[in-house]
Structure 1
Amino acid sequence: MPLTAKILDPRVAPRAQVRLHSTPQTPSLSLANLVWLTGTPAQMSTGVKRSIKPLAGDEPEDVLFNSSYGLRTIELNRPKKLNSLNASMIRKIAPRLVEWEKSDLANVVVMKGAGDRALCAGGDVKALSDLNKTGEEGSKESTDYFALEYKLDHYIATYRKPYIAFMDGITMGGGVGLSIHAPFRIATERTVFAMPETTIGFFPDVGASFFLPRMPGAVGTYLALTSERLTGANVFYSGVATHYLHSTSLPKLESRLAELRFRDFDDMKKRLEIIEMTIEEYATGLPPLDREPILIAGELRNAIDRCFNQPTVNGIIEALQNETGATKEWADKTLATLQKRSPTAVHVAHKQMQVAREWSIMETFRKEHQIAAHFMRHPDFVEGVDKQLSKERQTPQWKPASLQDIQPGDNVADPFFEAGADAQPLKLLVDRNYHAYPHSYVGVPSELDVRDAVLKATRSRKQIVEDFVQKKKGRQGIKTIVEEVLARKTYETADGVAVWIDESA
């Protein structure tokens, strides 16, 4: 029998109890956000209005589920295919999440991938491409797949139990949808993050419309258009991940999470604070900056903002062509990259990054479903998937063929944002909504957080850094992230006061 004791660990007490086993086993203050933060599972019904159920022909063990005391784990189990997501897996995951959300015994949910290569490398786009080749009915089936996937992603984004994603290994496309909206997103030395959709004639989906435009400056637009990869600690530095642990620490963290018990009256905010401290117990340090420096920083970050904060794709190209000095090599490489992407997808993704920052989380998935339906009928998707995934890695023949073939007045992106005459809004599993992540305070400080701290009081850079480190209880990496923002966006007066550089003045 397991023993039960009140927790004595000063890093967690007095907010929880821990079960000792004999064997191992700052958000927006909208009404929706306040309900999410202050409600406890006992006070909240799931509110699930629609269901997803497994079908008779689904693969038997493509997802594994496990329970260990208060911990529930979902393990994507297609390691030979880098745990790529398909409809069979979605139909298993969704009802299990609903079941756990209702259960008072389930405290924490972990999403992870089998093997050591990937959480999930994306959706099974080859199957979708093959469907599209069969004609209109096949395109409709592909669109239905995205409806299924987006329903799951929205449910995860609004889930009312603590949810942790182990972004260990490749985390791309569909894998991003399973992780990016989680309160806790743990990167490791093996993490490879990207939204590679423009390489296959598609657009950054799975809720990227919500996450990417809210990244600082033009970083989200840069990642969306170029499909640039972030690896290891840089997934953390960019804010894509909330924590960085060595992959060998993940099993120990799982065991520790299974021990956590919350008091009935602990609201979601309190529970996330406990988990945040628990994860940090297993932090073993970030790689030295001389070995793994911050990628999107300094002059490169300034160049990204200069070039990708343009109102048109042609403006981005012109800005890249005008880069000189230390960032010219990067600009030339980025220009070459953009020329390889689907021109239609680049234009759609650019408009997406401009308009989606105003979308709520519900609007995000409904609009993305609409855009996906258009792409399933566009030739670039089949062309991109078939050529990019072929053994020879042939060059896709896009339509239009190049960015130069799209003139300023062509408006190739506009039809993708228009609903068809018979289109119906995607019916999500729950009617939960917000305009800002209610759990964003558990992540790393954003550039806006640092700016507000500079403008709020007269202090030195050192004092501002110390305040953030103290607020985050000494969490690893916080000092480095805040120092980078301050070095790039502020100057110090003769009196040592940090002043924010107003680039709009």
Structure 2
Amino acid sequence: MQTICKLIRSSKESCLWGLRNMSSSAEADILLDTHGAARIITLNRPKALNALNLSMVKKIYPAMKEWQKDPNTGLVIIKGTGDKAFCAGGDVLSVTKSAKAGGTIHEEFFRGEYTLNYLIGTYNHPYIALIDGITMGGGCGLSIHGSHRVATEKTLLAMPETALGLFPDVGGSYFLPRLPGKLGMFLALTGYRLKGADVWHSGLATHYVNSSSIPELENALKALPKQKCDKETVHKTIMSFQPKNVPEFSLKNHLDTINKTFDGKSVENIIQKLEKDGSKFSLEQVSALSKMSPTSLKVTFQQIMTGSVSDLAGVFKMEARMTHHFLQGHDFYEGCRAILIDKDRNPKWNPPKLSDVSVDTVNGYFEPVPGVPDLLLS
């Protein structure tokens, strides 16, 4: 199984899936810049692989709202500092610590993050995400909802939440089931990592360019006059940097298997189909699924099915409920312990088996939260 966290070794850095509680820094965690009609957002926590925290959400959202009203705004570019990551996820440890301590950061973070994701998905200007590096979880929320997502050979993208006892949130309920065939269900349940051109082939990126071309592409976008900042011109500008020979989809020979097995009527049925197929690829997915939270798997299956017929606002209303319920449970905290704190990678899920997760339990994750208003977006 591919591990959830790829360790990036250096003298001072290690990646904990980007989901770590970093000490405060004197440096700004977000840089906002203006260049002609372009508005540039730079995620500036390179030591944390630009992991998203509440402070960053509170800076990006009002800036984007202001730009939305500014008649001089033509387009928005978002990128990450450093050569490793666009955004490796959300600062989940601070969230779980807040929830355990009876604080409010967890509620503020998720509701603020989802509100920002919705703004990106409904924005009135081209929004170009330069996902040149690790892009996971919260990083997907900052990019995939945008009109233009530019992957490179350095892009490493995944929604690995089921291994952490959570679910693929940040609008995963919307964008995953809208991928071709059953690719979205496959990615949601297994947390499979897409690399380089695979991100483009999957549909999660709209464009693919070489990493070395990103600075020149950014300059070309910043040079566009206001009257030429329409989505089609932006598309053509990015396409002018796309290499003639893009690597083939590494999952190309497995797509039929994915479509035939991940169309199961339940998680158990999917596993049965994978075992019956018996190929090396299918058995690797069985092994991967066996390590995930059974509760997360069953809730995620229902999430993807429901999200396939929901609009974007409805998806975030649903995910806000789900997040609250997961924070009241066991597995999210246990996943954080096993993956991020003790790092033994041996979570003790409760319940431990898929057969122990009842229909009523799954349905409960989608119910309104008593005393907590729904997240209503429009």
Question: Taking structure 1 as the reference length, what is the TM-score of the superposition?
Answer: 0.68
Change (3 A) 1:369 1:59: farther
- Deviation readout 1:208-246 (Å, 9 max, x if unpaired): 111011112111001000000100011011111010011
Identity %: 39
Distance in 2, matches of 1:316 and 1:346, equals 11
User: Are 1:419 and 2:368 counterparts?
Assistant: yes
Question: 1:243-262 residue pairs with structure 2 within 5 A?
Answer: 243-262=207-226
CA distance in 1, matches of 2:133, 2:38: 22
SS at match of 1:358: coil
SS at match of 1:412: helix
CA distance in 2, matches of 1:411, 1:317: 21
The code of the aligned residue for 1:294 comes to F
**Structure 2 contact 180–202 (Cα < 8 Å) conserved:** no
**1:410 offset after TM fit, Å?**
4.4
Aligned 8 A contact 1:309 1:316 in 2: yes
* Candidates 250, 273, 278, aligned match of 2:232: 273
Provide Cα deviations, 1:85-119, integer angstroms capped at 9, x if missing partner: 00000111111111111112221110100001111
2:89 to 111, 114, 122: 122
User: Which of 277, 280, 284 is the aligned partner of 2:243?
Assistant: 284
- Provide, for residues 116-163 of structure 1, a one-character-per-residue CA deviation record: whole Å limited to 9, x for no partner: 1111000001111222332xx23x541331001101110111011111
CA distance in 1, matches of 2:201, 2:359: 38
1:353-502, aligned counterparts within 5 Å? 353-390=304-341, 392-406=343-357, 410-428=359-377, 431=378
Matched AA of 2:256 = N
2:235 aligned with 1:294: no
Aligned equivalents of 1:388, 1:155: Cα separation in 2? 31
Name 2:17's counterpart in structure 1: none
Whole-Å separation in 2 of the counterparts to 1:381 and 1:405: 17
Equivalent in the alignment of 1:332: 283
Matched residue, 1:222: 186
Q: How many residues align?
A: 355
- Equivalence for 1:484: none
1:197 maps to 161
Task: For 2:265 and 2:175, locate their aligned partners in 1 and report how far apart those are by CA, in whole Å.
Answer: 19
| Aligned-residue offset at 1:81 | 0.3
Match of 1:314 in 2: 268
Q: 1:160 to 1:410 in 2, by over 3 A?
A: closer
Q: Provide, for residues 365-414 of structure 1, a one-character-per-residue CA deviation record: whole Å limited to 9, x for no partner.
A: 111101110011111111101211136433111111132444xx544311
Instruction: Give yes or no for contact 2:118–2:313 (8 Å, CA) kept in 1.
Output: yes
Q: 2:323, 2:268 → 1: CA distance?
A: 24
Change (3 A) 1:410 1:104: closer
After the TM superposition, which segments of 4 or more aligned residues of structure 1 sit over 6 Å from their partners?
none
The separation in 1 between residues aligned to 2:114 and 2:51, in whole angstroms, is 15
Larger Rg: 1
User: Residue deviations 1:48-101, cap 9 Å, x none?
Assistant: xxxxxxxxx997600011111111110000000000000000111111111111
1:42-191 aligned within 5 A: 61-134=28-101, 137-138=102-103, 141-191=105-155
TM-aligned CA deviation for residue 179 of structure 1: 0.3
Give 1:285 shift: 3.3
Q: Which SS does the other structure have where 1:65 is aligned?
A: strand
SS of structure 2 residue aligned to 1:74: strand
- Looking at both structures, which has the greater relative contact order when contacts are Cα pairs under 8 Å and sequence separation is at least 6? 1
Tell me the SS of whatever aligns to 1:213: coil
**TM-score normalized by the length of structure 2:** 0.90
Unpaired runs of at least 5, structure 1: 1-56, 432-505
| Partner Cα separation in structure 2 for residue 286 and residue 169 of structure 1 | 20
Q: For the residues of structure 1 that align with 2:79 and 2:245, how far apart are their CA atoms? A: 21
1:324-345 Cα distance to aligned partner (Å, 9 max, x none) = 4xxx111111111101001100
Cα distance in 2 for residues equivalent to 1:146 and 1:58: 22
